[in-house]
Structure 1
Amino acid sequence: MNAPATTELPVVVIGAGPAGLAAAAHLLDQGIEPLVLEAGQKAGAAVREWAHVRLFSTWGEVVDPAAEKLLAPTGWTRPDPATYPSGGDWAEQYLQPLADTLGDRVRTGAAVTGVSRTGRDRIVDADREQQPFVVHFTRTDGREERVFARSVIDASGTWATPSPAGGSGLPALGERAAADRITYRVPNLKNPEVRARYLGKRTAVIGSGASAFTALAYLADLAKSKDGAGTKGVWILRRGISGSTFGGGEADQLPARGALGLAAKAAVDEGHADAVTGFRTEAIERDTEGRLVLVGEDGRRLDPVDEVIVLTGFRPDLSFLAELRLGLDERLQAPVELAPLIDPNQHSCGTVYPHGHRELSHPEQGVYLVGMKSYGRAPTFLAMTGYEQVRSVAAAIAGDLASADRVELTLPETGVCGGAGLFDAPDVAEADGGCCAPVPQLVQLGAPAAVGASAEQSPAGGCCGS
């Protein structure tokens, strides 16, 4: 079957999450027909997997303007913009109504397996840019289908590809064999079965971002419950403790994000978790009782734990884009023009320079990675960044370069930039501490061992990488 003329084709959007649905709304606003392909059975499938976690951004910051404009005629009204939704709230009260409004433009149960130029693999130059894109996908029942597109916006995110526990970026030796005791998500401790898994147990939490903060705070709450005796967290950090380890605290312009870091700090200060610094996991072994022993690259062996929660970030799945000519930074796997602006060694989400279609473009014209997918392995992403990205990209696809280049975005400063928020955190003063403590040690924050040489805090809410 021959593909129709490119100008008659829709723009295929991969992923019906916050960025993907917002992209569809902006395309419609530009008079362009979108087709959204979502692997899950409902819109916001990835968000629904962390439905129990509360965002640190308010409703006013997680609703896209074009999407709200599209929803308004249906009678939809945005929840109180000053309140904080959970992932479940976001999915049910915003993403699903938006998908319903888009109607047949959203196809669920459609997992994209490949994207290319019609009749051209990645090595063929001849007439390449004149050929429409072809997108292959598999339906839930196994049927393979394809659609043609004038452009492709990949908003599939990174949720399905979490990073491993291993400090080298590879799974630690024994990590796969210990899969029955390891999770790569913040557990829902309100679920009785999940709660029983961690109750009275010793649990290692590997990671240093908002998700790790959330897990530590949840475990601390479990330890303080009436039947929580014996519940203990062990926080594994690859770097040392510093004043910026816990984000922006009370100085954070997103209060719930600041409270999140303070809650994690309180979990350690109150003895519900120990912190192990400078530890890069090399292997995960089992002792004679079946418990897990984390072994560091330096040969240290930690006391056994019952469970491990690995929250070391995510990475993009680029496998289905293999036939496209992408220009990606070799470190972050983000677009080369965007990578220097989001490098977590230099930036927090509040210091990312506003960007749009030009920073998101690739050698393959007409294809864009947006949302969390555009950040590759960088964790410093906010929903409002994704909304501004897709506004600019939609305008560029429509040929309105003046609007596409007018990127205006002011982001809240300081703190960590991914994950969720907690509330009613204790008002704990920040501990002093040096950046990048060179000597690995077990510390209890607030105790003399936590205090290192004074150093200027990094604006990224943490220094020296992960």
Structure 2
Amino acid sequence: MSENTPAAALPVAVVGAGPIGLAAAAHLIERGIEPVVLEAGPSAGTAVREWAHVRLFSPWAEVIDPAAEKLLAPTGWIRPDGTVYPSGGNWATQYLQPLADALGDRVRYNTRVTGVARAGRDRIVDSGRDEQPFTVHVEHADGREERLLVRAVVDASGTWSTPNPLGANGLPALGERAANGRISYRIPDLADPAVRERFAGKRTAVVGTGASAFTALAHLADLAKTEPGTHTVWVLRRGITGSTYGGGEADQLPARGALGLRAKKAVEDGHASALTGFRTAAVQTEGGKVVLVAEDGRRSEPVDQVVVLTGLRPDLSFLSEVRLGLDERLQAPTALAPLIDPNQHSCGTVYPHGAAELAHPEEGVFLVGMKSYGRAPTFLAMTGYEQVRSVAARLAGDAEAAARVELTLPETGVCGGAGLFDEPAAARSDGGGCCSVPAAPQLIALGAPATESSSCSTSGGC
């Protein structure tokens, strides 16, 4: 195809073969639009597979897209029990990969997007801009580069690959990169013997105050019960107040409340000690240990490991030549930002939204899924599915359907983040969970520590 190819004959590029990207492809096909899904990893749901042992907050009924289910039906796919809470591994193998397989060669693996632009136009040029297709620059695993012409770009690449750094000012702390062998940015999987060995009998600093940090505190406290010398230093940028641990037994979401209570018990039982009002500015290595230094000069005790769980952010680097309209704080689309501001909203109070709120000055570019939320952690997979339904309608020229709301969120819909909850009986039968023995599973949502869904990553919401 050339730059003179009519736009209607060009495919729509979907960046990312995660839950929202694959759903976007299904909705585009339903609208008669051909998608090409560009996935940097070797399989569907690459990010989700990185937290395969983590169980979602939401049951199967809330993490399967309707258009995707229609696409899967002729393949003989069997829909999982809607009441069961899948793990990340279940989600990837029982839904995401079959969906990608149904899409066939429309999904291109090991294909990393490195740039998006208007054909023959950088972001400065106005002349003829809107008449030009997009050129998507990709790099394959073997180093080969390719340019694809597309009519529109739906970026569902999530935020899992770009965790926030340790530094309290949003930048890496001094010495953070040099100490990267002792610093990690994910909830440790203590069922992995190699990972367990790194933390057993050791002192670990956990930085963060969200559900991911609570999960790490709870798991390390469990480890301390069987491994003497295991202790956690919980580093908080603020003080501990009545709301630090969430709503407890009065929480609208029992899973979230139980998680906060687990973290609180870890502190009360002495398995964790809190270092409050500590805003990290530097990391120093002393005698094989790590010491955190605060902006006010205070120093933490020496620790063996640091687990940084301070949220995620979008990677906007490959979109530098298209014109985006982003909120200056959240890095979310300007019209969407007020609806998802975490200072005002939890995921249960975010109004369903679509193409209108996701639009940018560059017509034909849409950030969807966890990436559309920028740095806000309030994302739900169901919300992402509604986003891409609306975007597909918009690209098909159906303005009425694009503006229509076709989603009613459950009153008990669960917010983004990671956590723990008492495993429901229906979930026990599949053998999933965080450990090799029965235990309270972890919960993650698409942008929190996680996924795009993670999707619930991924750390994201589910």
Establish whether TM, by shorter chain, passes 0.5.
Answer: yes
The residue number in structure 1 matching 2:262 is: 263
1:230 Cα deviation from its structure 2 partner: 1.0
The answer to whether residue 123 in structure 2 is matched with residue 125 in structure 1 is no
Matched residue type, 1:168: N
Provide the C-alpha distance between the structure 2 equivalents of 1:65 and 1:253, rounded to a whole number of angstroms: 27
Structure 2 CA distance for aligned equivalents of residues 58 and 260 of structure 1: 18
What residue is the counterpart of 2:237 in the other structure?
238
Alignment of 1:2 with 2:2, yes or no, is: yes
Q: Which residue of 2 aligns with 1:335?
A: 333
Paired with 1:413 and 1:200, the residues of 2 have a C-alpha distance of 42
Q: Calculate the TM-score normalised by the size of structure 1.
A: 0.87
Match of 2:384 in 1: 386
In 2: Cα distance, 1:21 partner to 1:116 partner: 23
The answer to whether the 8 Å contact 2:155/2:368 transfers is yes
Q: Where do 1:192-207 residues align within 5 Å?
A: 192-207=193-208
Name the residue aligned to 1:162.
163
For residues 300 and 413 of structure 2, what CA distance do their matches in structure 1 show?
Answer: 29
Residue aligning to 2:84: 83
Secondary structure in 1 matching 2:79: coil
Q: Is the contact made by 1:348 and 1:416 (CA closer than 8 Å) also made in structure 2?
A: no
CA distance in 2, matches of 1:409, 1:314: 26
Instruction: Give the C-alpha shift of residue 420 in structure 1.
Output: 3.0
Equivalent residue for 2:435? none
User: Does 1:213 find its partner at 2:211?
Assistant: no
1:98 lines up with 2:99 in the alignment: yes
Segment drifting more, 169-178 vs 412-421: 412-421
Residue 267 of structure 1: SS of its match in structure 2?
A: helix
Q: 2:114–2:138: 8 Å Cα contact kept in structure 1?
A: yes
Matched residues, number:
422
Give the Å deviation of 1:253: 4.9
Cα 1:355/1:249, change in 2 over 3 Å: farther
In terms of mean alpha carbon deviation, does 404-413 or 339-348 score higher?
404-413
Letter in 2 for 1:247: G
Q: Distance in 2 between matches of 1:45 and 1:177?
A: 28
Root mean square deviation, CA, Å = 1.7
SS at match of 2:258: helix
Aligned 8 A contact 2:58 2:413 in 1: no
1:377 counterpart = 2:378 = no
User: Which range moves more in the overlay, 355-364 or 60-69?
Assistant: 60-69
CA distance in 1: counterparts of 2:246 and 2:407, whole angstroms: 21
Distance 1:148 1:414 in 2: 43
For residues 31 and 319 of structure 1, what CA distance do their matches in structure 2 show?
A: 31
Question: Quick one: distance in 2 between partners of 1:83 and 1:129?
Answer: 46
**C-alpha separation in 1, matches of 2:302 and 2:412:** 35
Superposition deviation, residue 298 in structure 1: 1.6
User: Secondary structure at 2:420's aligned position in 1?
Assistant: coil
Distance 1:247 1:61 in 2: 24
SS at match of 1:293: strand
**Hey, what's the Cα distance between the residues in 1 that align with 2:413 and 2:73?**
33
Mark the runs of 5 or more structure 2 residues left unpaired by the alignment.
424-462
2:207 and 2:412 mapped to 1: Cα distance? Answer: 22
Q: Distance in 1 between matches of 2:246 and 2:26?
A: 33
- Alpha-carbon spacing, 1:254–1:146, altered in 2? closer, same or farther (3 Å): farther
SS at match of 1:275: strand
Map Cα deviations across residues 271-297 of structure 1 (whole Å, 9 max, x no partner).
Answer: 22122222111111122x221111111
State the distance in 1 between where 2:33 and 2:256 align. 37
Amino acid of the structure 2 residue aligned with 1:323:
E
Which residue does 1:404 correspond to in 2? 402
Aligned residue for 1:285?
284
Structure 1: state its 5+ residue gaps: 426-466
Which deviates further from its counterpart, 268-277 or 121-130?
268-277
CA contact (8 A) 1:348 1:413 kept: no
Letter in 1 for 2:269: E
Contact 1:204 1:234 in 2 (8 A): yes
Matching residue of 1:346: 344
Matched AA of 1:42: S
Letter in 1 for 2:299: R
Equivalent pair of 1:348/1:414 in contact (CA under 8 Å): no
1:112 aligns with 113
Contact 1:53 1:421 in 2 (8 A): no
Displacement of 1:131 after TM fit? Answer: 0.9
Deviation (angstroms), 1:406: 1.2
Structure 2 equivalent of residue 25 of structure 1:
26
Instruction: State the percentage of identical aligned residues.
Output: 74
Q: Contact conserved, 1:109 with 1:139, CA < 8 A, in 2?
A: yes
Question: What SS does structure 2 have at the residue aligned with 1:7?
Answer: helix
Q: For the Cα contact (< 8 Å) 1:122–1:323, is it kept in 2?
A: yes
1:274 has 2:273 as partner: yes
Shift of 1:390: 0.7
Letter in 2 for 1:107: R
2: CA distance between counterparts of 1:146 and 1:159?
25
The SS at the match of 2:138 is: strand
The 8 Å contact of residues 150 and 366 in structure 1, kept in 2 or not, is answered as: yes
**Preserved contact between residue 268 and residue 274 of structure 1 (Cα < 8 Å):** yes
Query: Which range moved further: 151-160 or 76-85?
Result: 76-85
Q: Deviations over 1:64-83 (max 9, x none)?
A: 11111211221222222222
Q: State the 1:8 CA deviation.
A: 0.4
